Structure 1
Amino acid sequence: MAILVLDGVTRVVEIPDAEPLHILRGVDLVVDAGEHVSIVGRSGSGKSTLLNILGLLDEPTGGSIRFDDVPVQRMSAAERDKRRGREVGFIFQQFNLLPGRTAAENVATPLLYAEPHRFWRRRRLALEMLDRVGLADRADWLPSRLSGGEQQRVAIARALVREPRVILADEPTGALDVETGQAVMGLLDGVARDSRAALVTITHDPHIAALADRRHRLDGGVLHPAEVEAVR
C-alpha cells in the first residue's frame, strides 16, 4: 500500500528582481509501506527540498502529495504538524544528539510529546529501541563516549522510537567511514522492514543508494529512475 504519493510536484521560489528559481520540476514518486527508496543527486539538485516536502515541512508550489491517501493540501497546518510528529522520523548526517543527556535520554526525547501511555513508558521504550539497534549496554553513556557509528545508531533509535510510518534519512552515513556507513544502513533497512515503515534515503553515495529496493536520480529538479551498481 502506498504511503507517499507525489504527482507532478513543483517547487518554485520567487526572487526579487530576478527570474523565479525552479527547484523541483514535476516530480512523480510513489513509496509503499516497507519499501526502501533512495534518491541520489548532486549538491543543489533539490534533494533537501524534496525531503522537506516528503516530511510535511514544506508545501509544493504545484502538483499534489498524498500521505496515507490523504491530500496534504487539504490538511491544516496543525494537522500537518501532528501527522509529522506522529508518523515521520528524520535521520540526518549530523547526529544532533543532546550532549548533556545519555543515549537513553536522547532516544526518549521525542516521547516527551507523545500520548500519555507512551509518555509514562518513555524510558522503557527507549531502552527497548536501544537494544534493537545493539546499544543496550550504552544506554547510560553520554554521546561524547560513543563512536560515530554508535552515535548514528542512537539517532536512528531516536527517530524510530515513535514507530513512524515514514523514515526520511538525509545523508545518514555522510559523517561515517564506508564500512560503518554500510553497517548502519543495513541496520536501518532491517528495522524499517520489520516495522513496515517506508524508508526514503537521500544520498550522494551510489554505494548507499544501491542498498535500496528502488533508486532515483534528481537532476535539475527532475526525478528519473536510476540504475546504481550493487555493492560487492
Structure 2
Amino acid sequence: MTLIALDGVGRTVELPDAPPLQILSAVDLVIDDGDRVSIVGRSGSGKSTLLNLLGLLDRPTHGEIRFDGAEVRRLSDARLARLRGASIGFVFQQFNLLPGRTAIENVMTPLLYDRGAAFWRRERLAAAMLERVGLGARLTSMPDRMSGGEQQRVAIARALVRRPRLILADEPTGALDLETGSTVMELMEEVARETGAALVTITHDPAIARRAVRHLRLEAGRLVPLDGAEAPGAAPAASEAVSAPERRREFESEPEEVRA
C-alpha cells in the first residue's frame, strides 16, 4: 500500500537581491508501507530539503505530494501538524534532545500532543520504549551524562514512541563510531520490521545506504537510482511488500506493553 508519493515535486527558494534558487526539480518517488529506502548525495544536493518535504514540514513549490492518498497541498497547517505527529518519526544526526530533561522526559515529549489515551499513559509508554531500546536503567539520566550511542537510542525511542508509519533518519550514524552506528541501524530496522513502518535513511555512508532495499542518489535536484539499484518508485522486494502490512496488523493486535 502506498504511504507517500511525490510526483514531479520541486522546491524553489526566493532569495533577496538574487534569482530564485531551485533546490529540487521533478522528483518522483513512491514509498510503500514497510519499504526500506536509502538516499545519498553530496552536501548541498538538497537532501535536507527532500527530508522536510517527506516529513510534511515544507510544501513543494510545484508538483504533488500525497500522504496516504491525501494531497498535502490541500491540507491546512493544523491538519499537517496532526498528521506529522501521528504518522512520522524523525531521527536526526545531532540527536536534538532537550537539555535539562531526563531520557524519559525527552521520549514523553511527542505524547504531550496526543489527544487520546497515550497522553494519559505517556510515562508508561515512554518507559516501555526506552526499555525496548535497551535503556530501561537510564530513565532518569540526563543527555549530557550519556554516551553518543545512548543519546541516539533515546532519540530513536522518541521518534518511535507514537509508532509512526514513516521513519525518516537524517544521517542517523554520522556522529557515532562504526560499531555503535551499526547497532543503531539494526535497532531501527528491527523496530521498523516489527511495526511494518517504512524507513527512509539519508546518509553519506555507503555501508549504511547498502542496508536498504532501494538505493537512490539525489543529483542535480533529481532522484536517480544508484548503479544496479532499483528505479525510484519501484516496489520493494516481494517478501517485504507482502509481509509489511501483515506485520503491522499482528503488531497492532498485541498489547501496547508487548509492542513497546
Band the TM-score falls in, shorter-chain normalisation: over 0.9
Distance 1:4 1:45 in 2: 21
CA deviations on 1:163-197 (whole Å, 9 max, x unpaired) are 11111111111110111111101111111121111
Residue in 2 that maps onto 1:178: 178
Find the aligned partners of 2:152 and 2:58 in 1 and give their Cα distance. Answer: 25
Residue aligning to 2:105: 105
Asked if 2 retains the 8 angstrom alpha-carbon contact of 1:209 and 1:228, the reply is no
Report what 1:57 is aligned to.
57
Structure 2 counterpart of 1:57, one-letter code: L
Partner of 1:168: 168
Matched ranges for 1:84-95 at <5 A: 84-95=84-95
- State how far apart, in whole Å, the 2-side matches of 1:77 and 1:45 are: 27
Partner SS for 1:187: helix
Separation in 2 of the partners of 1:186 and 1:227? Answer: 24
User: Which residue of the partner structure matches residue 40 of structure 2?
Assistant: 40
User: 1:222 aligns to what?
Assistant: 222
Residue in 2 aligned with 1:195? 195
- Residue of structure 2 in register with 1:73 after alignment: 73
Q: Is the contact made by 1:35 and 1:193 (CA closer than 8 Å) also made in structure 2?
A: no
Range with greater deviation from structure 2 (7-16 or 119-128)? 7-16
Alpha-carbon shift at residue 115 of structure 1 (Å): 2.0
Sequence identity (%):
66
Aligned to 2:83: 83
Give the CA deviation at 1:19.
Answer: 2.9
Q: Distance in 2 between matches of 1:61 and 1:98?
A: 32
**Following TM superposition, by how much is the alpha carbon of 1:114 offset from its aligned partner in structure 2, in angstroms?**
0.9
Taking structure 1 as the reference length, the TM-score comes to 0.94
3-state secondary structure, aligned to 1:176: coil
Change (3 A) 1:224 1:109: same
Question: Which of 36-45 and 98-107 deviates more?
Answer: 98-107
What amino acid sits opposite 1:143 in the alignment? P
Q: Deviations over 1:28-87 (max 9, x none)?
A: 111111111110001000000000011111111111111011111111121111111111
Letter in structure 2 aligned against 1:153: R
Deviations for 1:90-120, whole angstroms, at most 9, x for unmatched residues? 1111111122222111111111111241111
Aligned mates of 2:149, 2:211 — CA distance in 1 = 18
**TM-score calculated relative to the size of structure 2:** 0.85
Deviations 1:191-230 (A, max 9, x none): 112111111111111111111111100011010011489x
Q: Take 2:83 and 2:60, find their aligned partners in 1: how far apart are those partners?
A: 17
Match of 1:114 in 2: 114
SS at match of 1:173: coil
Distance 2:120 2:76 in 1: 29
Q: 1:3 touches 1:32 (CA, 8 Å); kept in 2?
A: yes
The equivalent residue for 1:126 is 126
Q: Secondary structure at the match of 1:179?
A: helix
Aligned residues: 229
Where do 5+ consecutive residues of structure 2 fail to align?
230-260
- What amino acid does structure 2 have at the position aligned with 1:94? Q
1:210·1:228 contact (CA, 8 Å) conserved in 2? no
Asked if structure 2 preserves the Cα contact closer than 8 Å seen for 1:103 and 1:154, the reply is yes
Q: Which moved more, 1:197-206 or 1:8-17?
A: 8-17
User: Which stretch shifts more, 145-154 or 93-102?
Assistant: 93-102
